[in-house]
C-alpha cells in the first residue's frame, strides 16, 4: 500500500486484563480522530496488545500535511495606525508575524470592532512531526480506572512505562512519553527472549515478534488458545465447561499462549457443581472439565509460555487449586450448620439502603408484592410458595460462601434450600432470582420464580426512583437499567398480562413514608423508564421504531398485549389500504388538533360521502370490537383498513370546516369517533409513511 507507515509500541509492566481492550480502543480512536482533523488520516489502522504492550500499526499515511492558508486576526485598527494614518509597531509586528507586507493587511469587522487581518501561508509539516506532537499527549492522556506514579514522580499512568517504539517509515519519531525517549528497540518475552532487538518496519516487527512466539493480535491469540485448551481437554476425555468471558480474560493475560493441565482430589467433586466451577474460575482463572454432564477432577488454565518442561507451573497451580477448593468446602460445610430460617432472622442487621431500611424490610415488601402479582395473575395455588421463596430470597447474603464468591448470590441460597428439602418451585425461585442478568440469560423457571424475581426488581426500582436515584447518562450505580430490562423480559417472555402500573403503585404503598418523592412522580418516571427498556428490546427483535411508538402510544402497561399490537402493525404496515388509513389518520389529527369534543347526530349528515363513511364505520365497529376482544389485532387493523376508500372519498367530496357551524361541528364529531376507532390498537399517526412511495405502491397494486 502506498504512503507512509507508522509503528507505535508502548511497552510497560503488566496491565490488568480488564483494562487492555478499552485502552487500545481509546488510543486508536484518539489518534485516528486527531489525524483526521489534520487531514493526514491513514488508509489502514491495526491494533494489538499483550499484557505488557499496546500496539498501533498505521499504513497509507500522507507524507506530510497539505499546505494551507490560515486567517490571522491582528490588533484593532485604532491601535494599528496613529493619528496621521501611519502604521504603528503593533501593525508592523503583526505583518512580520504573518510574513506579509503592511499593504497586504486587511481591515475586517468583528464583534469587538474593526481589526487588522491577514492570510498567512502555512507550509504543511512532515507527518513524523505531526506524530511527534500527538503521541505523547495521547498516550499520557489515556483514561485508566486506577493509576500510579514511579521513578521520581513520572505518571500518573496504569503501570510504569519501560519503552516506546515510534517508527515512521523506519525512522524514529523524536518524542518522549513521560521519562521514556522513543527508539527503534524493543524486547520480547521477559523470560524467554529478554534481549533487546531493533525494528526497521512494521513487517520487520511482525516477523521478529513471531520468531519469539509473541502473538500481538488479541483475536489470533484467542483462537490459538481456544484450540490448545480444547485439545488438552480432549486428551483427558472431556470438554471445557463453556465460559467465553474466562477465555477472554486468559487471552489477555498472556502474549505466548500455552495451556497447563492440573488435577485435584476427586473428593472435591462432592461440592456443588456451581461452587467448584466458580472457585476454579474466580480464584485461579481456570476452566473446569466435564464428560457426559459430570465434572472431572481436572482443570486447565494458561501460562505465558509454550511449555512447562519441569512441571513447576502445573505443580504451583495444583497446590493453589487444592487450597482454594479446601476453603470452598470449609465455607460450604460451615454454612450448612445454620438453617435458612435462622439466617432470615439476621437480615435485620444487613442494610439494603440507608433510607429504605434493611434486607428484612425489603424481604417483607417482596413477599407482599409477590403475593399481589400471583393474585393478579390468578395463580392462587402459587401464593404460599411465592411468599415462602420471598422470605428466603436474600438470606444467602449472610453466608460465608457468598462473602467469598459474590457471583453466587441467589444460586447459593437455592442450593441450600434444595438441600433443606424445600419445594422445587421455592428453591428454583431463589436460585433463579437474578435471571436474566444479560441478554443471553433465560428468565426464571416457573410462576413462583417469575413472581418473586419481578417483585424484587420492582421493589428496587420504586425505592430508588422514590429517592430520586434515576440513572442518567452512563451512570447507573444501582444497576437499575438491568433491573428494568429484567422486568420487561420476564413479563414479555413469560407472557404475563400484568398491569405494571398497578403493581408499581402497590409497591409505592408498601414503602410507606420512606420515599422522598410523591407516588405520582415515581410512577410517571418509572413508566417512561420501562418504556425505554421496551423500545430497546423490541428494536433488538427487528421492529421499526415507529411501529413500536404507534403501539406504545395506545397503552403500555400490559406488555404481552403491547407486543401483540406491535407485531400486528409490523405485519400489515406495508399494505396499501392500511397506509391510506394511516395518511387519513394523520389528516384527521391535524384537523382535530384545536377542536373541542362535539356531539354527533346522524340526522345532520348531508353529503353522500359522509353518510357512507358513517355507515361503513358503524358496520365495522362490531367486527373491530370482536377482533380486539379476542386479541386478534392483525384482523383489527385489517378491518380498520377497510375504511380506506370511504375516508379517501370523504376528504375529496366533503368540506369539514363548512361555514355552517352545525355541519362543521357534526363532521368534526364524526372524525373524532373515527379517530377513536382507528387508534385503539395503535396510534396510527406515529407510523411514518413516504407519500410518494405509498402512491407508487398503490398504483402498482391497482387493477389495470
| pLDDT of 695 above 60 | no
**Per-residue pLDDT reduced to its tens digit, 489-512:** 999 999 999 999 999 999 999 999
Provide φ and ψ at 55, rounded to 5°: -130, 130
CATH second-level architecture of 559-701?
Orthogonal Bundle (1.10)
Please return the burial class of 239, using the count of CB atoms within 10 Å of its CB with bins 0-12, 13-18 and 19+: middle
For the chain, which residues make up each domain, given as ranges? Answer: 4-64+126-211, 68-122, 218-335, 341-540, 559-701
The vertex-254 CA angle with 252 and 256, nearest 5°, equals 135
- 289/291 Cα distance (integer angstroms): 7
**Total count of residues recorded for the chain:** 704
Nearest in space to 241 (alpha carbons), one of 292, 290, 294, 300: 290
Q: For 169-293, list the strands marked E by DSSP.
A: 171-172, 176-177, 180-181, 185-186, 197-198, 239-240, 258-263, 287-291
Helix/strand/coil for 33: helix
- 127/167 Cα distance (integer angstroms): 11
Nearest in space to 384 (alpha carbons), one of 453, 447, 454, 458: 447
Q: How confident is the model at residue 534 (pLDDT cuts 50, 70, 90)?
A: very high
Count of beta carbons in the 10 Å neighbourhood of residue 265? 12
| pLDDT of 703 above 70 | no
Helix axes 633-641, 608-629, angle to 10 degrees: 170
| pLDDT of 692 above 70 | no
Q: Round the average pLDDT of the chain to a whole number and report it.
A: 92
The CATH number of the structural domain formed by 341-540 is 1.10.3210
- 385/429 Cα distance (integer angstroms): 9
Count of beta carbons in the 10 Å neighbourhood of residue 300? 23
Residue predicted with more confidence, 491 or 699: 491
| pLDDT of 455 above 50 | yes
Q: For 519-610, list the strands marked E by DSSP.
A: none
Q: For 169-291, list the strands marked E by DSSP.
A: 171-172, 176-177, 180-181, 185-186, 197-198, 239-240, 258-263, 287-291
Cell (9 digits) for 334: 460451615
| pLDDT of 577 above 60 | yes
Nearest in space to 535 (alpha carbons), one of 517, 551, 518: 551
- State mean pLDDT over 371-397: 96
In the chain, the N- to C-terminal Cα span, in Å, equals 57
Provide the percentage of residues in the chain whose pLDDT is more than 90.
74
**Per-residue pLDDT reduced to its tens digit, 42-93:** 999 999 999 999 999 999 999 988 888 788 889 998 888 888 888 898 988 9
Q: How confident is the model at residue 2 (pLDDT cuts 50, 70, 90)?
A: low
Please return the burial class of 367, using the count of CB atoms within 10 Å of its CB with bins 0-12, 13-18 and 19+: buried
| pLDDT of 556 above 50 | yes
CB 375 within 8 A of CB 486: no
Q: Which residues make Cβ contacts (< 8 Å) with residue 689, sequence separation at least 6? A: 579, 582, 583, 586
**Per-residue pLDDT reduced to its tens digit, 638-691:** 999 998 899 999 999 989 888 898 998 999 999 999 998 888 899 999 998 865
| pLDDT of 697 above 70 | no
The whole model's pTM is what? 0.82
Cell 414479555 belongs to residue: 492
- 576/641 Cα distance (integer angstroms): 9
The vertex-649 CA angle with 646 and 651, nearest 5°, equals 110
- State mean pLDDT over 436-440: 87
| pLDDT of 698 above 70 | no
Q: Which residues make Cβ contacts (< 8 Å) with residue 401, sequence separation at least 6? A: 275, 328, 331, 332, 335, 408, 412
Provide the percentage of residues in the chain whose pLDDT is more than 70.
98
CB 442 within 8 A of CB 489: no
**Per-residue pLDDT reduced to its tens digit, 183-225:** 999 999 999 999 999 999 999 999 999 999 999 999 999 999 9
Q: How confident is the model at residue 417 (pLDDT cuts 50, 70, 90)?
A: very high
Q: What is the secondary structure of 647-659 as a DSSP string?
A: HHHHHHH--TT-S
How are the residues of the chain apportioned to helix, strand and coil, as percentages rounded to the nearest 5?
55, 15, 30
pLDDT score recorded for residue 389: 97
**Per-residue pLDDT reduced to its tens digit, 107-159:** 888 888 899 898 888 788 899 999 999 999 999 999 999 999 998 888 899 99
| pLDDT of 704 above 50 | no
- 214/515 Cα distance (integer angstroms): 57
CB 359 within 8 A of CB 352: yes
CB 120 within 8 A of CB 69: yes
Amino acid at each position: 500500500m502506498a504512503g507512509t507507515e507508522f509503528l507505535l509500541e508502548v511497552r510497560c509492566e503488566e496491565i490488568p486484563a480488564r483494562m487492555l481492550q478499552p485502552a487500545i480502543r481509546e488510543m486508536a480512536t484518539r489518534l485516528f480522530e486527531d489525524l483526521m482533523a489534520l487531514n493526514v488520516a491513514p488508509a489502514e489502522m491495526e491494533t494489538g496488545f499483550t499484557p505488557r504492550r499496546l500496539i498501533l500499526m498505521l499504513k497509507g499515511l500522507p507524507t506530510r500535511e497539505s499546505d494551507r492558508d490560515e486567517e490571522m486576526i491582528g490588533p484593532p485598527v485604532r491601535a494599528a495606525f496613529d493619528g496621521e494614518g501611519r502604521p504603528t509597531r503593533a501593525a508592523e509586528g503583526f505583518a512580520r508575524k504573518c510574513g506579509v507586507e503592511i499593504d497586504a493587511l486587511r481591515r475586517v469587522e468583528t464583534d469587538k470592532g474593526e481589526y487588522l487581518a491577514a492570510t498567512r501561508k502555512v507550509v504543511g509539516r512532515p507527518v513524523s512531526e505531526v506524530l511527534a506532537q500527538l503521541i505523547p499527549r495521547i498516550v499520557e492522556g489515556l483514561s485508566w480506572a486506577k493509576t500510579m506514579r514511579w521513578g521520581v514522580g513520572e505518571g500518573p499512568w496504569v503501570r510504569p512505562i519501560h519503552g516506546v517504539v515510534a517508527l515512521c517509515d523506519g525512522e524514529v519519531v523524536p518524542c518522549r512519553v513521560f521519562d521514556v525517549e522513543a527508539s527503534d528497540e524493543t524486547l520480547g518475552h521477559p523470560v524467554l527472549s529478554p534481549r533487546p532487538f531493533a525494528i526497521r518496519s512494521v513487517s520487520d516487527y511482525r516477523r521478529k515478534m513471531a520468531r519469539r512466539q509473541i502473538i500481538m493480535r488479541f483475536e489470533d491469540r484467542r483462537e490459538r488458545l481456544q484450540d490448545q485448551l480444547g485439545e488438552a481437554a480432549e486428551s483427558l476425555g472431556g470438554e471445557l465447561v463453556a465460559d467465553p468471558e474466562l477465555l477472554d480474560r486468559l487471552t489477555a493475560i498472556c502474549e505466548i499462549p500455552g495451556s497447563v493441565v492440573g488435577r485435584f482430589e476427586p473428593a472435591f467433586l462432592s461440592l456443588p457443581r456451581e461452587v467448584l466451577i466458580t472457585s476454579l474460575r474466580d480464584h485461579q482463572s481456570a476452566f473446569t472439565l466435564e464428560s457426559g454432564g459430570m465434572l472431572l477432577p481436572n482443570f486447565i488454565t494458561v501460562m505465558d509460555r509454550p511449555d512447562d518442561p519441569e512441571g513447576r507451573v502445573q505443580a504451583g497451580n495444583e497446590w493453589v487449586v487444592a487450597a482454594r477448593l479446601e476453603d470452598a468446602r470449609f465455607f460450604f460445610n460451615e454454612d450448612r450448620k445454620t438453617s435458612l430460617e435462622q439466617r432470615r432472622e439476621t437480615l435485620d442487621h444487613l442494610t439494603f439502603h440507608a433510607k429504605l431500611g434493611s434486607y428484612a424490610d425489603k424481604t417483607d415488601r417482596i413477599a407482599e408484592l409477590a403475593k399481589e402479582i400471583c393474585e393478579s395473575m390468578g395463580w392462587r395455588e402459587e401464593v404460599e410458595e411465592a411468599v415462602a421463596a420471598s422470605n428466603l430470597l436474600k438470606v444467602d447474603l449472610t453466608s460465608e460462601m457468598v462473602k467469598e464468591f459474590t457471583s453466587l448470590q441467589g444460586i447459593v441460597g437455592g442450593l441450600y434450600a434444595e438441600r433443606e428439602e424445600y419445594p422445587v418451585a421455592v428453591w428454583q425461585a431463589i436460585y433463579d432470582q437474578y435471571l436474566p442478568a444479560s441478554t443471553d440469560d433465560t428468565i426464571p423457571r416457573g410462576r413462583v420464580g417469575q413472581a418473586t424475581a419481578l417483585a424484587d426488581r420492582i421493589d428496587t426500582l420504586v425505592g430508588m426512583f422514590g429517592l430520586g436515584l434515576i440513572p442518567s447518562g452512563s451512570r447507573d450505580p444501582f444497576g437499575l437499567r438491568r433491573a428494568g430490562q429484567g422486568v420487561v423480559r420476564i413479563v414479555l417472555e413469560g407472557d404475563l398480562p400484568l398491569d405494571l402500573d398497578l403493581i408499581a403503585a402497590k409497591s409505592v404503598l408498601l414503602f410507606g413514608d420512606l420515599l422522598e418523592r410523591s407516588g405520582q412522580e415515581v410512577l410517571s418516571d418509572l413508566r417512561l423508564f420501562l418504556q425505554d427498556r421496551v423500545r430497546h428490546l423490541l428494536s433488538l427483535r427487528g421492529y421499526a421504531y415507529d411501529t413500536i411508538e404507534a403501539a406504545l402510544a395506545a397503552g403500555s402497561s400490559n406488555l404481552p398485549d403491547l407486543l401483540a399490537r406491535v407485531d400486528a402493525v409490523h405485519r400489515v404496515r406495508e399494505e396499501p389500504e392500511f397506509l391510506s388509513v394511516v395518511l387519513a389518520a394523520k389528516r384527521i389529527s391535524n384537523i382535530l388538533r384545536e377542536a373541542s369534543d362535539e356531539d354527533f347526530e346522524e340526522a345532520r349528515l348531508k353529503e353522500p360521502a359522509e353518510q357512507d363513511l358513517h355507515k361503513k364505520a358503524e358496520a365495522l365497529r362490531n367486527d373491530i370490537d370482536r377482533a380486539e376482544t379476542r386479541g386478534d389485532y392483525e384482523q383489527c387493523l385489517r378491518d380498520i383498513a377497510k375504511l380506506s376508500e370511504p375516508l379517501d372519498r370523504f376528504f375529496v367530496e366533503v368540506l369539514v370546516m363548512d361555514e355552517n357551524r352545525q355541519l362543521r361541528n357534526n363532521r368534526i364529531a364524526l372524525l373524532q369517533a373515527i379517530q377513536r376507532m382507528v387508534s385503539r390498537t395503535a396510534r396510527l399517526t406515529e407510523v411514518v409513511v413516504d407519500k410518494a412511495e405509498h402512491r407508487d405502491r398503490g398504483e402498482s397494486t391497482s387493477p389495470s
